[in-house]
């Protein structure tokens, strides 16, 4: 029997399509392959090839039994000869297919079936899976490189929070992905969630087949192809060298992927060639929390790493995922022949895009009573939640009763700094009364909410309010599971998807995001007191928060949103802003040099960012303030007690005059545009200000 050799000189059995040692496609293969337009089993029409590797090819096809719905066919082509070897290879492959069949998660392409097809004298095996519309993170990295942009910390943090629960789920079932990398993650277009594809179990089967039936052994009896299970730099050394994998192997690969996104450099460029340790801190500055988490995930000794995805989430101060449940596989429901499949809810924009520009008009939002629809509306909404009771139901009956019986927020105690999800935050159990597509749509929404770490009560409150705003005539009406209400349910889900998209793009720390729905007036009083200790008033704190909030939610400009659900997002923004002020990221004290009458501060601001300055000045001094910056900047100048209005959210760049009181004057610059701006603030004061004048009053 004639042998075939690859370009590296590896010998392969006759008829091999790919090299059994390095995976190279063999040009002298006698196999003719599968071409576009070919029909497989009178069901799958091949559209095109998506890619190929050492163990087979992947195709996109149309499923004629599902209205030509696109799907993915992943071919299994073990390089073994003989009836016995092929039979054993098929048995191993079917076993792996059974493992994939167990995986029922909205961020994993659903496994449909194991499909056999005979072409000539060859029997082919295919895994059939859902087709995911979107871009791989490898493609996104390539696009960022061309634009000269990197992924920022908020984006990779969001990716980790959305993907770690998926890893916790598969690990609970004893499944290790083995090959996490940018090209095996897809940013799904329909909802902006990362989807985990191309599990390494199929490759493991091929390696086992090669080692058992071809006798290809490496050092110590390790299968030679085991070194191919994972990508160099992304997989830890014990996986690459010995084929040993554990849950922390996937966590290592995730951390490597995150650093590639942050630096746009491959792992080999971030690993010190002498010490073989990761050396990335000279490439990117990260928060201490995220930096230490990544360092631990990438430890060379397996025992020094996080052992579970839940531990990583806890270290990131994110909510732990609910205990995963292995749902038994079910047969696909019969496809109706009289109507098309219900479409998914409209998708929001990708989570890494920016929002629309906003104009800050009111530094302190006014309060208004929460709208009420009466007892009938409350009871009706309870029935709505019970009727739909989906993964993300319309109404949230339990929440509504709970929220309507809560005391006024002025009577509530301040929240803690270590938020914990309340026990009554359970989401209604899913119902089977809805179509499979609608159930799946709601499961996707539920997964997105969970990944964000948002309480269900707040989520339902937020979506309900927007739904009622768009459909005031529906307030109080029971919305059931009947077909006639399908359009309204779809609209509710579309609103939910859009709001989740806004929150996914909006940069909030995990801790404050978890508290959404629980912020009270007492929290605002506490924040005001903490700001006053730094000699700034709530007006300055709110200016900084408004710049960010109103840019992301411009439709809230001029509205009395404080008592509405969206007001909770504003309060969370204030909490994060206060942290930025306390850390010095958004705050600086101006000090005049001895004997100097002037000083200057400068910097740059991203869209929606702002910075506050204070200067200790005395009554009667003459001051001139000149701001040089972009057209879309807003400038505020507040006196120590606020009794005298100087500048507030103004487009003016200059103020001069005699100071009306002694104390700390506040200068606030915010970027209200859509592009970064540079700024320079020049202050000139007649005679240098005294070192520490006592304020005549307290800031507001």
Angle at 572 between CA 570 and CA 577, to 5 degrees: 90
Catalytic residue ranges: 179
Tokens of 388: 């739909």
* Rounded-to-integer distance, Cα 218 and Cα 211, Å: 9
Bridge-based pairing of strands 622-628 and 663-671 is unpaired
Strands (E), 317-386: none
Q: Give the chain's end-to-end CA distance (angstroms, integer).
A: 90
Helix (H, G, I), strand (E, B) or coil at 594: coil
* Rounded-to-integer distance, Cα 371 and Cα 365, Å: 17
Residues contacting 512, CB < 8 A, separation 6+: 572, 575, 576
DSSP string covering 206-218: HHHHHHHHS--B-
* Rounded-to-integer distance, Cα 659 and Cα 665, Å: 9
Contact 670, 550 (CB under 8 A): no
Neighbours of 364 (CB within 10 A): 14
Tokens of 94: 């079917």
**Residue among 599, 615, 604 nearest 671 (CA):** 604
Torsion of CA 666, 669, 670, 674, to 10 degrees: 180
Tokens of 636: 């505020």
* Cα radius of gyration (the chain): 30
Residues contacting 26, CB < 8 A, separation 6+: 4, 6, 12, 16, 17, 18, 19
H, E, C per residue of 131-152: CCCEEEHHHHHHHHHHHCCCCC
* Rounded-to-integer distance, Cα 536 and Cα 641, Å: 10
Helix (H, G, I), strand (E, B) or coil at 453: coil
DSSP code, position 344: P
Contact 446, 352 (CB under 8 A): no
**Residue among 138, 238, 233, 235 nearest 179 (CA):** 235
Backbone φ and ψ for 74, nearest 5 degrees, come out as -105, 110
Contact 539, 363 (CB under 8 A): yes
* Rounded-to-integer distance, Cα 545 and Cα 574, Å: 5
* Rounded-to-integer distance, Cα 54 and Cα 572, Å: 50
Q: Within 13 Å of residue 124, how many CA atoms lie on the same side as its CB?
A: 21
* Rounded-to-integer distance, Cα 296 and Cα 597, Å: 50
Residues contacting 555, CB < 8 A, separation 6+: none
């Amino acid at each position: 029997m004639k042998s075939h050799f690859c370009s590296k000189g590896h010998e392969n059995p006759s008829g091999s399509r790919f090299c059994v040692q390095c995976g190279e496609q063999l040009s002298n293969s006698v196999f003719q392959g599968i071409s576009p337009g070919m029909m497989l089993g009178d069901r799958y029409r091949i559209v095109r090839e998506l890619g190929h590797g050492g163990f087979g090819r992947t195709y996109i096809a149309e499923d004629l039994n599902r209205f030509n719905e696109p799907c993915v066919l992943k071919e299994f082509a073990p390089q073994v000869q003989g009836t016995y070897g092929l039979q054993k290879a098929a048995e191993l492959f079917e076993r792996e297919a059974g493992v994939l069949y167990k995986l029922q998660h909205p961020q994993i392409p659903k496994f449909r079936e194991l499909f056999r097809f005979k072409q000539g004298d060859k029997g082919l095996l295919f895994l059939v899976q859902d087709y995911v519309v979107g871009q791989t993170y490898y493609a996104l990295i390539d696009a960022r490189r061309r634009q000269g942009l990197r992924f920022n910390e908020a984006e990779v943090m969001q990716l980790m929070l959305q993907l770690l629960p998926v890893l916790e789920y598969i690990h609970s079932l004893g499944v290790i992905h083995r090959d996490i990398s940018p090209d095996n993650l897809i940013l799904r277009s329909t909802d902006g969630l990362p989807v985990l594809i191309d599990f390494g179990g199929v490759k493991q089967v091929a390696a086992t087949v090669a080692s058992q039936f071809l006798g290809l052994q490496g050092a110590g009896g390790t299968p030679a192809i085991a070194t191919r299970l994972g990508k160099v730099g992304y997989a830890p050394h014990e996986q690459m060298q010995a084929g040993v994998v554990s849950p922390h192997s996937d966590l290592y690969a995730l951390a490597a992927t995150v650093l590639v996104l942050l630096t746009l450099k491959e792992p080999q460029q971030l690993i010190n060639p002498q010490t073989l340790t990761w050396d990335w801190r000279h490439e990117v500055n990260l928060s201490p929390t995220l930096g230490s988490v990544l360092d631990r995930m990438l430890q060379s000794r397996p025992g020094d790493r996080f052992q579970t995805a839940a531990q990583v989430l806890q270290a990131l101060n994110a909510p732990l995922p609910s205990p995963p449940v292995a749902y038994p596989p079910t047969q696909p429901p019969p496809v109706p022949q009289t109507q098309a499949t219900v479409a998914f809810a409209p998708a929001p924009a990708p989570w890494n895009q920016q929002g629309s520009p906003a104009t800050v008009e009111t530094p302190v939002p006014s309060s208004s009573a929460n709208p009420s629809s009466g007892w009938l509306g409350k009871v009706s909404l309870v029935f709505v939640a019970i009727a739909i009771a989906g993964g993300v139901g319309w109404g949230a009956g339990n929440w509504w009763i709970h929220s309507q019986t809560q005391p006024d927020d002025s009577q509530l105690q301040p929240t803690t700094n270590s938020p914990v999800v309340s026990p009554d935050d359970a989401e209604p159990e899913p119902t089977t009364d809805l179509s499979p597509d609608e159930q799946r749509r709601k499961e996707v929404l539920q997964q997105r909410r969970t990944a964000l770490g948002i309480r269900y009560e707040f989520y339902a409150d937020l979506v309900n309010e927007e739904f009622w705003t768009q459909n005031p005539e529906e307030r109080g009406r029971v919305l059931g599971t009947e077909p006639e209400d399908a359009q309204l349910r779809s609209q509710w889900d579309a609103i939910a998807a859009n709001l989740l998209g806004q929150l996914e793009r909006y940069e909030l720390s995990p801790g404050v995001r978890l508290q959404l729905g629980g912020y009270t007036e007492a929290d605002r009083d506490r924040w005001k007191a903490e700001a006053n200790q730094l000699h700034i008033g709530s007006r300055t704190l709110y200016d900084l928060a408004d710049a960010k909030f109103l840019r992301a939610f411009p439709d809230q400009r001029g509205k009395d949103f404080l008592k509405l659900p969206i007001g909770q997002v504003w309060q969370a923004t204030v909490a994060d802003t206060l942290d930025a002020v306390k850390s010095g990221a958004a705050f600086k004290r101006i000090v005049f040099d001895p004997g100097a009458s002037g000083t200057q501060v400068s910097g740059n601001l991203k869209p929606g960012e702002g910075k506050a300055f204070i200067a200790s000045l005395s009554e009667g001094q003459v001051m001139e303030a000149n701001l040089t910056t972009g057209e879309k900047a807003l400038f505020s100048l507040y006196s120590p007690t606020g009794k005298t209005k100087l500048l507030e959210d103004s487009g003016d760049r200059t103020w001069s005059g005699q100071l009306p009181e002694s104390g700390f004057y506040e200068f606030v610059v915010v970027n209200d545009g859509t592009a970064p701006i540079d700024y320079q603030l020049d202050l000139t004061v007649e005679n240098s200000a005294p070192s520490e004048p006592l304020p005549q009053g307290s800031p507001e």
